[in-house]
């Protein structure tokens, strides 16, 4: 018997899970007894609930590493790439939609699923069992699978007839964004990740932060025929150029735009409103969503405030943006409160932004796509177009050290978030793992990544900005950094 494990730490983590579960029960009981709508108390309770859930998530993950042998833990991590491979298969072969359509969602045998999507039944059964073992799908009977709350999240809601006749269009549906996000991550991004070691150990590439020297470029060039790219292509493109220029990649660009809408599913629908005080803006305020894609992130701002919104992106993306707003908020289009501008943010801000006296520039999930030298160009152009009263809102991940150091505590103290209790990691560990996975995903896709608060502070100071507020609504996941022009 192996008792070399740290039983004291195991006991502390178990107690933390128990106490956090008790907190959730208390909050549920209090919510059932409340008769009045107390928004202030609701916000306090929501914060307590998020902290309790984060404690459970982090403690449970940390506990699992302590009660298994290190070899089991590490080798399990090494094989984890099979999970995204399996997710990609079930999304692209429409398994969630098939299960919803079969037997009123009660489940279906792999033989019946195979007859519809053409995937070999025996192989498909093994893939579904892997996912069911990790709580995606339920295996109701041997080889009979049904949707559950996890698999339903990647169900686009499109009819079975629709997904079979127009498979690529299923991501355009109201519920298709999150499925698109998982599809992009398990397809293009996963392939890019396979080449991270090659790029980082190549002496000609390791010190480069140019996007065309990213792991993505090694995955695609030179001489790569993957994704339909011809052998004769010699100029390496960055990932955005590749999606925007190759005609055969048009569907990928559309899926990527849908995926950005799907990111909103990772946070509450009104997450963008939980931070910067958008409600303080008047009806003559102009918000410029720089590189805003289809504008899904800024839609709640338009819905809940009287501001005017300018969405800037490349023309091919804006075609999809127009369709998105026609479906989700047509009144904003008809009234002219929302307009689109074809703009490359590496060029000076267009007169449509400058003449409109922009009140706020929004950069949501933009900075992590670009290393510092490229990010500085974007920020300087925005600074040149800003007035002294203009504010810049950056929505991106914030990285922290996983160790408890005085510097880490000082950075944490600048944010409106709760410090994790011992013995959890100072950055919330697994409960905040998405931010760190996004960081490496941006490295593999674009040769860039997330930043620490200190790194943002230096970057902004060098481009004429000064951080004044950092809002932390979901622990360290997608905080909001508010900056003003230096000297204001």
Among all residues, which ones are annotated catalytic? 368
Residue with tokens 């896709």, as numbered in its chain: 445
What is the β-pairing status of strands 391-395 and 480-485? antiparallel
Residue with tokens 């809002």, as numbered in its chain: 471
CA distance 258 to 237: 22
CA distance 368 to 51: 26
Helices 372-385 and 453-461 pack at an angle, to 10 degrees, of 50
Closest by Cα among 480, 52, 46 to 301: 480
Closest by Cα among 450, 453, 424, 425 to 437: 450
CA distance 459 to 248: 37
Please give the structure tokens belonging to residue 70. 């290190």
What is the β-pairing status of strands 308-313 and 138-141? unpaired
110 within 8 A of 121, measured Cβ to Cβ: yes
Residue with tokens 């009819």, as numbered in its chain: 159
Other Cβ atoms closer than 10 A to 153: 16
Q: List all residues 6 or more positions away from 103 whose beta carbon is below 8 Å from its beta carbon.
A: none
Q: Which region, left, alpha or beta, applies to residue 362 given φ > 0 means left and ψ of -120 to 50 means alpha?
A: beta
Please give the structure tokens belonging to residue 457. 């502070």
CA distance 220 to 231: 10
CA distance 96 to 428: 32
Longest dimension (CA), the chain: 74
CA distance 473 to 282: 24
Residue with tokens 């593999």, as numbered in its chain: 444
Spell out the long-range contacts of 245-254 with Cβ–Cβ below 8 A and sequence spacing 24 or more: 250/316, 251/168, 252/184, 252/188, 252/227, 253/316, 253/317, 254/168, 254/171, 254/172, 254/320
Helices 176-184 and 82-92 pack at an angle, to 10 degrees, of 140
The 3-state DSSP composition of the chain as helix, strand, coil percent (nearest 5) reads: 55, 10, 35
């Amino acid at each position: 018997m192996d008792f070399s494990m740290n039983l004291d730490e195991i006991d502390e983590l178990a107690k933390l899970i128990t106490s956090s579960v008790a907190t959730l029960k208390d909050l549920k009981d209090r919510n059932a007894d409340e008769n009045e709508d107390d928004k202030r108390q609701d916000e306090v309770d929501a914060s307590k609930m998020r902290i309790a859930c984060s404690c459970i998530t982090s403690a449970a993950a940390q506990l699992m590493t302590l009660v298994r042998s290190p070899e089991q833990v590490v080798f399990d991590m090494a094989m984890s790439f099979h999970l995204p491979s399996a997710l990609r298969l079930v999304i692209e072969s429409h398994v969630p939609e098939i299960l919803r359509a079969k037997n009123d969602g009660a489940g279906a045998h792999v033989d019946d699923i195979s007859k519809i999507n053409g995937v070999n039944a025996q192989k498909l059964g093994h893939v579904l069992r892997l996912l069911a073992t990790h709580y995606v799908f339920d295996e109701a009977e041997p080889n009979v699978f049904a949707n559950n709350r996890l698999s339903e999240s990647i169900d686009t809601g499109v009819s079975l007839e629709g997904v079979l006749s127009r498979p690529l269009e299923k991501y355009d549906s109201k519920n298709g964004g999150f499925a698109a996000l998982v599809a992009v991550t398990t397809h293009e991004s996963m392939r890019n990740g396979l080449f991270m070691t090659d790029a980082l150990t190549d002496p000609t590439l390791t010190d480069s932060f140019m996007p065309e020297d990213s792991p993505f470029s090694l995955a695609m060039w030179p001489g790569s025929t993957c994704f339909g790219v011809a052998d004769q292509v010699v100029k390496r493109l960055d990932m955005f150029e590749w999606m925007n220029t190759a005609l055969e990649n048009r569907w990928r660009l559309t899926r990527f735009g849908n995926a950005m809408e799907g990111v909103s599913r990772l946070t509450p629908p009104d997450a963008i409103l939980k931070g910067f005080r958008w409600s303080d803006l008047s009806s003559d305020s102009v918000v410029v969503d720089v590189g805003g894609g289809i504008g899904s992130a800024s839609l709640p701002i338009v819905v809940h405030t009287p501001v005017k919104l300018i969405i800037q992106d490349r023309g091919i993306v804006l075609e999809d943006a127009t369709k998105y707003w026609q479906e989700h908020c047509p009144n904003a289009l008809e009234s002219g409160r929302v307009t689109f501008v074809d703009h490359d943010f590496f060029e000076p801000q267009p007169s449509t932004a400058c003449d409109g006296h922009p009140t706020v520039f929004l950069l949501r999930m933009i900075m992590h796509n670009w290393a510092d030298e490229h990010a500085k160009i974007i920020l300087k152009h925005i600074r040149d177009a800003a007035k002294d009263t203009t504010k810049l809102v950056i929505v991106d991940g914030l990285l922290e050290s996983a160790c408890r150091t005085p510097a880490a505590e000082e950075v944490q103290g600048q944010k409106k978030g709760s410090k994790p209790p011992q013995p959890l990691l100072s950055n919330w560990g697994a409960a905040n793992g998405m931010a760190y996975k996004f960081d490496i995903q941006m490295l593999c896709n674009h040769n860039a990544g997330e930043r620490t608060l200190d790194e943002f502070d230096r970057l902004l100071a060098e481009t004429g900005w000064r951080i004044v507020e950092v809002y932390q609504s979901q622990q360290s996941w997608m905080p909001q950094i508010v900056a003003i022009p230096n000297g204001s």
